[in-house]
Structure formats: C-alpha cells, structure tokens
C-alpha cells in the first residue's frame, strides 16, 4: 500500500499543491478542499505544529546595538549635506532580539522548506505594491499557534464534511485548526 495519495498529479505538481494548501491553512486558519487533499494536508500541518510546539521556547534573548536611519514625521529618511553630498543620518538603538538555538534554527529551516512566502495586500490597494507586508508564517507558528497547542498531544486539525461538489461529486470538506 502506498504511504501517500497521488491525487492524480505528478510529484512536482502534488508537492506544490500541498505546500500551497498548508501555507493557506496556517495563514487563514481554515480552507475548503476535497477530502483526499485534506487528509494529506493534515499529515504535513500536524508535523509542522508538533515541531513548533517542541521548539517554541528554545531561544535566547540578546541585546544588540543597531544603526537605524532617522526618519521625519512623514516616514522619510533625514538627510544631511556632508562634503557636498547628501548623506542619511543614522542613530544607534539598543534592541532585544531572539537568537534561536541550534535545534530551533533547524526546525525553522524545515518549516521554510514547506511553507511559501505570504504577502498581505490591503483591500483598498488591491493590485498595488504599496502598503503590502510580508507575513512571517514561521514566526506565527512559534509565537501564536504553538502556545495554543502546548497541552495537546496531536490532533491539531479538524475535518468537517460539507457535502459533494456539484461538478464532479467529489466530497468537499472544511479543514480547520482546532
């Protein structure tokens, strides 16, 4: 018996489809898909969440000084004229950052192998690059999703049957995080 469902696709297409659905599920919290695809996505998502739960507190906080460009009230960089050239003015700021330990860094890289990058676009600026922001799904896994499931020993997702799809009568399901 096969260890996975082929879903009627080549291996590259199947891998891309599952990566897209896993990314969408973790970003939005729930997706509607067919039953066979949902069962495959559950395997991947449960593994990622289990990895995040295991490594969620495995980091050190470190203080660093960083050079940050000074900005005016409009959010534009402040420039000074030095030797006839316009030069950006920088301030030194102390920041606290999380430094991953080796196993958490490895877990982060394993997650990045599966997840696609996500960009959020405000509805008012649809189709424009302005005011878009990158969503860090790995950070979301570690900071938001993993703390919810610390006391749970698996079973992080739920499949709810919706009914048959009109076109091909495939069983549609709602796949959501518990």
Are 84 and 106 in a shared domain?
Answer: no
Are 129 and 96 in a shared domain?
Answer: no
The pLDDT-based confidence of 10 (bands split at 50, 70, 90) is very high
In a domain, 68, yes or no: yes
**What's the token pair of residue 168?**
């091909």
Are 52 and 137 in a shared domain?
Answer: yes
Are 89 and 15 in a shared domain?
Answer: no
Are 80 and 92 in a shared domain?
Answer: yes
Are 70 and 91 in a shared domain?
Answer: yes
Q: For all residues of the chain together, what is the average pLDDT?
A: 93
Are 138 and 163 in a shared domain?
Answer: yes
Phi, psi of 144 (to 5 degrees): -110, -50
In a domain, 2, yes or no: no
CA 87 to chain centre: 37
Are 94 and 156 in a shared domain?
Answer: no
Are 78 and 150 in a shared domain?
Answer: no
The pLDDT assigned to 123 comes to 80
The pLDDT assigned to 172 comes to 97
> How many other β-carbons are positioned within 10 Å of the β-carbon of residue 50?
16
The pLDDT assigned to 50 comes to 97
Share of the chain above pLDDT 90, in %: 79
Q: Which domain holds residue 46?
A: 11-58+101-177
Please provide the DSSP assignment of 44-74 as one string.
Answer: HHHHHHHHHHHHTT-EEEEEEEEEEE-B-TT
In a domain, 3, yes or no: no
The pLDDT-based confidence of 139 (bands split at 50, 70, 90) is very high
The pLDDT-based confidence of 112 (bands split at 50, 70, 90) is very high
Helix ranges restricted to H, the chain: 11-28, 35-55, 102-114, 137-140, 146-148
The pLDDT assigned to 8 comes to 94
Are 91 and 169 in a shared domain?
Answer: no
Are 21 and 52 in a shared domain?
Answer: yes
The pLDDT-based confidence of 105 (bands split at 50, 70, 90) is very high
CATH number at residue 161: 3.90.1030.10
For the stretch 142-168, pLDDT in tens is 999 999 999 999 999 999 999 999 999
- Cα torsion 10, 11, 14, 16: sign: negative
The pLDDT assigned to 175 comes to 98
> Does position 1 have pLDDT exceeding 90, yes or no?
no
Q: Which of 103, 112, 96, 109 is nearest to 58 (CA)?
A: 103
Mean pLDDT of 79-94: 90
5-14, 120-129, 161-170, range with the lowest pLDDT: 120-129
The pLDDT assigned to 3 comes to 87
Are 173 and 89 in a shared domain?
Answer: no
The count of structural domains within the chain is 2
């Amino acid at each position: 018996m096969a260890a996975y469902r082929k879903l009627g696709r080549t291996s590259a297409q199947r891998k891309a489809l599952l990566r897209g659905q896993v990314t969408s599920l973790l970003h939005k919290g729930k997706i509607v898909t067919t039953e066979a695809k949902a069962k495959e996505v559950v395997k991947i998502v449960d593994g990622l969440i289990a990895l995040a739960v295991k490594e969620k507190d495995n980091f050190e906080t470190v203080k660093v000084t960083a050079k940050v460009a000074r900005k005016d009230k409009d959010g534009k960089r402040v420039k000074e004229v030095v030797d006839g050239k316009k030069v950006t003015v920088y301030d030194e700021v102390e920041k606290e950052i999380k430094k991953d330990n080796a196993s958490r860094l490895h877990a982060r890289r394993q997650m990045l192998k599966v997840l696609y990058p996500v960009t959020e676009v405000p509805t008012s600026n649809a189709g424009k690059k302005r005011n878009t922001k990158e969503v860090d799904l790995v950070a979301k896994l570690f900071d938001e999703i993993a703390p919810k499931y610390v006391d749970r020993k698996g079973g992080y997702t739920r499949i709810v049957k919706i009914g048959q799809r009109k076109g091909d009568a495939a069983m549609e399901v709602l796949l959501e995080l518990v």
